[in-house]
Protein backbone atom coordinates (compact mmCIF):
# COMPACT_ATOMS: atom_id res chain seq x y z
CA UNK A 1 0.00 0.00 0.00
CA UNK A 2 1.30 3.45 -0.89
CA UNK A 3 2.38 5.79 1.87
CA UNK A 4 1.64 9.46 2.31
CA UNK A 5 3.81 11.76 0.22
CA UNK A 6 5.93 13.70 2.75
CA UNK A 7 6.22 16.69 0.42
CA UNK A 8 2.40 16.96 0.07
CA UNK A 9 1.96 16.48 3.82
CA UNK A 10 4.28 19.28 4.87
CA UNK A 11 3.26 21.51 1.98
CA UNK A 12 -0.28 21.19 3.29
CA UNK A 13 0.91 22.15 6.76
CA UNK A 14 2.83 25.21 5.52
CA UNK A 15 -0.01 26.25 3.23
CA UNK A 16 -2.52 26.17 6.05
CA UNK A 17 -0.28 28.19 8.31
CA UNK A 18 -0.23 30.82 5.55
CA UNK A 19 -4.00 30.45 5.20
CA UNK A 20 -4.36 31.07 8.94
CA UNK A 21 -2.39 34.30 8.51
CA UNK A 22 -4.63 35.23 5.55
CA UNK A 23 -7.68 34.70 7.75
CA UNK A 24 -6.19 37.05 10.33
CA UNK A 25 -5.51 39.62 7.61
CA UNK A 26 -9.05 39.34 6.19
CA UNK A 27 -10.51 39.77 9.67
CA UNK A 28 -8.35 42.81 10.43
CA UNK A 29 -9.11 44.53 7.09
CA UNK A 30 -12.85 43.83 7.29
CA UNK A 31 -13.13 45.09 10.87
CA UNK A 32 -11.18 48.24 9.94
CA UNK A 33 -13.53 48.91 7.00
CA UNK A 34 -16.60 48.22 9.17
CA UNK A 35 -15.43 50.45 12.00
CA UNK A 36 -14.11 53.34 9.86
CA UNK A 37 -16.05 56.34 11.16
CA UNK A 38 -15.75 58.23 7.85
CA UNK A 39 -17.56 55.43 6.02
CA UNK A 40 -20.48 55.69 8.42
CA UNK A 41 -20.77 59.42 9.07
CA UNK A 42 -19.73 61.11 5.83
CA UNK A 43 -21.00 58.86 3.05
CA UNK A 44 -24.27 57.93 4.73
CA UNK A 45 -27.14 60.31 5.33
CA UNK A 46 -30.09 59.57 7.57
CA UNK A 47 -31.55 56.18 6.69
CA UNK A 48 -29.75 56.07 3.33
CA UNK A 49 -26.66 53.87 3.11
CA UNK A 50 -24.35 54.42 0.16
CA UNK A 51 -22.44 51.18 0.74
CA UNK A 52 -24.02 48.06 2.17
CA UNK A 53 -22.24 46.45 5.10
CA UNK A 54 -23.31 42.93 4.06
CA UNK A 55 -20.13 42.15 2.02
CA UNK A 56 -17.96 43.39 4.91
CA UNK A 57 -19.90 41.33 7.46
CA UNK A 58 -19.43 38.25 5.27
CA UNK A 59 -15.67 38.90 5.19
CA UNK A 60 -15.54 39.27 8.97
CA UNK A 61 -17.23 35.88 9.37
CA UNK A 62 -15.05 34.36 6.63
CA UNK A 63 -11.83 35.65 8.21
CA UNK A 64 -12.70 34.18 11.61
CA UNK A 65 -13.69 30.80 10.14
CA UNK A 66 -10.60 30.67 7.88
CA UNK A 67 -8.41 31.02 10.97
CA UNK A 68 -10.16 28.01 12.51
CA UNK A 69 -9.93 26.05 9.25
CA UNK A 70 -6.22 26.86 8.94
CA UNK A 71 -5.62 25.26 12.33
CA UNK A 72 -7.83 22.31 11.40
CA UNK A 73 -5.91 21.79 8.14
CA UNK A 74 -2.52 21.92 9.89
CA UNK A 75 -3.64 19.41 12.51
CA UNK A 76 -5.24 17.10 9.97
CA UNK A 77 -2.08 17.10 7.83
CA UNK A 78 0.33 16.37 10.68
CA UNK A 79 -1.88 13.73 12.30
CA UNK A 80 -2.93 12.32 8.90
CA UNK A 81 -6.54 12.46 10.05
CA UNK A 82 -8.99 11.95 7.19
CA UNK A 83 -12.01 13.17 9.15
CA UNK A 84 -10.35 16.51 9.91
CA UNK A 85 -9.25 16.87 6.30
CA UNK A 86 -12.80 16.18 5.11
CA UNK A 87 -14.20 18.79 7.49
CA UNK A 88 -11.52 21.16 6.28
CA UNK A 89 -12.42 20.58 2.62
CA UNK A 90 -16.15 21.10 3.20
CA UNK A 91 -15.62 24.17 5.41
CA UNK A 92 -13.14 25.78 3.03
CA UNK A 93 -15.46 25.15 0.06
CA UNK A 94 -18.35 26.90 1.82
CA UNK A 95 -16.18 29.85 2.89
CA UNK A 96 -14.84 30.23 -0.65
CA UNK A 97 -18.41 30.40 -1.97
CA UNK A 98 -19.28 33.06 0.64
CA UNK A 99 -16.25 35.13 -0.32
CA UNK A 100 -17.15 34.99 -4.00
CA UNK A 101 -20.72 36.05 -3.12
CA UNK A 102 -19.27 38.96 -1.11
CA UNK A 103 -17.13 40.06 -4.06
CA UNK A 104 -20.03 39.77 -6.51
CA UNK A 105 -22.32 41.77 -4.19
CA UNK A 106 -19.76 44.57 -3.90
CA UNK A 107 -19.05 44.56 -7.66
CA UNK A 108 -22.73 44.69 -8.62
CA UNK A 109 -23.50 47.56 -6.21
CA UNK A 110 -20.45 49.61 -7.19
CA UNK A 111 -22.05 51.68 -9.99
CA UNK A 112 -25.21 52.30 -7.95
CA UNK A 113 -23.12 53.35 -4.95
CA UNK A 114 -21.26 55.98 -6.97
CA UNK A 115 -24.43 57.77 -8.12
CA UNK A 116 -26.01 57.45 -4.67
CA UNK A 117 -22.84 58.83 -3.08
CA UNK A 118 -22.98 61.98 -5.19
CA UNK A 119 -26.60 62.62 -4.19
CA UNK A 120 -25.86 61.95 -0.53
CA UNK A 121 -22.87 64.30 -0.44
CA UNK A 122 -24.93 67.07 -2.04
CA UNK A 123 -27.56 66.61 0.64
CA UNK A 124 -24.93 66.58 3.37
CA UNK A 125 -23.26 69.71 1.96
CA UNK A 126 -26.35 71.65 3.07
CA UNK A 127 -25.67 70.60 6.67
CA UNK A 128 -22.32 72.39 6.69
CA UNK A 129 -23.88 75.86 6.57
CA UNK A 130 -26.62 75.07 9.09
CA UNK A 131 -26.49 76.14 12.72
CA UNK A 132 -29.07 73.65 14.01
CA UNK A 133 -28.25 70.53 16.00
CA UNK A 134 -29.40 68.25 13.14
CA UNK A 135 -26.05 68.16 11.41
CA UNK A 136 -23.78 68.77 14.42
CA UNK A 137 -22.17 65.34 14.32
CA UNK A 138 -21.68 65.50 10.57
CA UNK A 139 -20.01 68.92 10.78
CA UNK A 140 -17.69 67.65 13.50
CA UNK A 141 -16.65 64.62 11.45
CA UNK A 142 -16.18 66.75 8.33
CA UNK A 143 -13.96 69.21 10.21
CA UNK A 144 -11.78 66.29 11.35
CA UNK A 145 -11.70 64.88 7.82
CA UNK A 146 -10.65 68.25 6.38
CA UNK A 147 -7.81 68.65 8.83
CA UNK A 148 -6.53 65.10 8.28
CA UNK A 149 -6.81 65.14 4.49
CA UNK A 150 -5.93 68.79 3.76
CA UNK A 151 -9.16 69.71 1.96
CA UNK A 152 -11.97 72.20 2.53
CA UNK A 153 -15.71 71.89 1.94
CA UNK A 154 -17.43 69.36 -0.28
CA UNK A 155 -18.26 71.00 -3.62
CA UNK A 156 -17.71 74.76 -3.31
CA UNK A 157 -14.82 74.88 -0.88
CA UNK A 158 -15.14 77.18 2.12
CA UNK A 159 -18.43 78.56 0.73
CA UNK A 160 -20.09 75.31 1.75
CA UNK A 161 -19.57 76.24 5.41
CA UNK A 162 -21.35 79.59 5.19
CA UNK A 163 -21.25 81.45 8.50
CA UNK A 164 -19.80 78.36 10.19
CA UNK A 165 -16.49 78.91 8.39
CA UNK A 166 -15.08 81.04 11.22
CA UNK A 167 -15.58 78.14 13.64
CA UNK A 168 -13.77 75.58 11.49
CA UNK A 169 -11.22 77.83 9.77
CA UNK A 170 -8.25 76.05 11.39
CA UNK A 171 -9.24 72.75 9.74
CA UNK A 172 -9.16 74.39 6.27
CA UNK A 173 -6.04 76.44 6.90
CA UNK A 174 -2.90 75.98 4.78
CA UNK A 175 0.19 75.95 6.96
CA UNK A 176 2.39 77.26 4.14
CA UNK A 177 1.42 79.22 0.98
CA UNK A 178 1.65 76.97 -2.08
CA UNK A 179 -0.10 76.04 -5.35
CA UNK A 180 -2.51 73.89 -3.35
CA UNK A 181 -3.72 76.93 -1.38
CA UNK A 182 -6.12 79.73 -2.26
CA UNK A 183 -7.05 82.95 -0.52
CA UNK A 184 -10.50 83.09 1.07
CA UNK A 185 -11.68 86.01 3.23
CA UNK A 186 -8.07 87.11 3.50
CA UNK A 187 -6.85 83.71 4.71
CA UNK A 188 -4.97 80.86 3.08
CA UNK A 189 -7.04 77.68 2.86
CA UNK A 190 -6.76 74.37 1.02
CA UNK A 191 -7.86 74.60 -2.61
CA UNK A 192 -8.79 70.91 -2.77
CA UNK A 193 -12.43 70.12 -1.94
CA UNK A 194 -13.15 66.95 0.02
CA UNK A 195 -15.59 65.25 -2.36
CA UNK A 196 -12.93 63.65 -4.65
CA UNK A 197 -11.10 62.32 -1.58
CA UNK A 198 -14.29 60.88 -0.12
CA UNK A 199 -15.13 59.21 -3.45
CA UNK A 200 -11.63 57.71 -3.49
CA UNK A 201 -12.25 56.45 0.04
CA UNK A 202 -15.41 54.64 -1.05
CA UNK A 203 -13.75 53.34 -4.24
CA UNK A 204 -10.77 51.99 -2.27
CA UNK A 205 -13.20 50.34 0.15
CA UNK A 206 -14.81 48.50 -2.77
CA UNK A 207 -11.44 47.53 -4.23
CA UNK A 208 -10.31 46.11 -0.88
CA UNK A 209 -13.48 44.04 -0.49
CA UNK A 210 -13.42 42.74 -4.08
CA UNK A 211 -9.66 42.12 -4.08
CA UNK A 212 -9.74 40.31 -0.74
CA UNK A 213 -12.78 38.22 -1.68
CA UNK A 214 -11.47 36.95 -5.03
CA UNK A 215 -7.74 37.03 -4.20
CA UNK A 216 -7.97 34.75 -1.17
CA UNK A 217 -10.48 32.50 -2.99
CA UNK A 218 -7.77 31.72 -5.58
CA UNK A 219 -5.39 30.73 -2.78
CA UNK A 220 -8.08 28.58 -1.17
CA UNK A 221 -8.39 26.50 -4.35
CA UNK A 222 -4.83 25.29 -3.68
CA UNK A 223 -5.90 24.30 -0.16
CA UNK A 224 -8.76 22.23 -1.55
CA UNK A 225 -6.41 20.47 -3.98
CA UNK A 226 -3.80 19.72 -1.29
CA UNK A 227 -6.43 18.43 1.15
CA UNK A 228 -7.99 16.04 -1.39
CA UNK A 229 -4.63 14.67 -2.51
CA UNK A 230 -3.62 14.06 1.11
CA UNK A 231 -7.05 12.63 1.94
CA UNK A 232 -6.77 10.07 -0.88
CA UNK A 233 -3.19 9.14 0.00
CA UNK A 234 -4.09 8.51 3.64
CA UNK A 235 -6.95 6.29 2.50
CA UNK A 236 -4.52 4.14 0.45
CA UNK A 237 -2.12 3.49 3.37
Of 2-16, 36-50, 100-114, the least confident: 36-50
pLDDT tens-place string over residues 177-196: 777 899 888 889 999 999 99
Compute CA distances 150 → 17, 126, 181, 195, 222, whole Å: 41, 21, 10, 12, 44
Max Cα–Cα distance, the chain, nearest Å: 88
Q: Tell me phi and psi for residue 185, to 5 degrees.
A: 55, 40
Q: Does 191 reside within a domain?
A: yes
CA atoms within 13 A of residue 126's CA, in its CB half-sphere? 6
Q: Does 1 reside within a domain?
A: no
Residue 203: Cβ-neighbour burial (10 angstroms; 0-12, 13-18, 19+): middle
Domain extent at residue 47: 6-235
Task: Give the number of domains in the chain.
Answer: 1
Q: Does 135 reside within a domain?
A: yes
Residues 195 and 50: their CA atoms lie apart, in Å, by: 14
Q: What is the pLDDT of residue 1?
A: 40
Cβ 192 vs Cβ 152: under 8 Å: yes
Q: Does 149 reside within a domain?
A: yes
Compute CA distances 182 → 132, 176, 227, whole Å: 29, 11, 61
Answer yes or no: is pLDDT of 48 > 50. Answer: no
Q: Does 11 reside within a domain?
A: yes
Residues 206 and 221: their CA atoms lie apart, in Å, by: 23
Compute CA distances 54 → 106, 120, 144, whole Å: 9, 20, 27
Q: Which of 228 and 42 is assigned the larger pLDDT?
A: 228
Q: Which of 137 and 9 is assigned the larger pLDDT?
A: 137
Q: What is the pLDDT of residue 176?
A: 73
Q: Does 35 reside within a domain?
A: yes
Q: Does 208 reside within a domain?
A: yes
Amino acid sequence: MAGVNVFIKYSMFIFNFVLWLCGMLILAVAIWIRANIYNKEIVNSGDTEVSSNAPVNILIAAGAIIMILGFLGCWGAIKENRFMLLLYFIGLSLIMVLQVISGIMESSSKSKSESKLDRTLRENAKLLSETSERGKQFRKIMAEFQQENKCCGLFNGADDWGTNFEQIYETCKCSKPSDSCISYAGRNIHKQTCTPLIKDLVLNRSKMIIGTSFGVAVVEVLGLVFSMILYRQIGKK
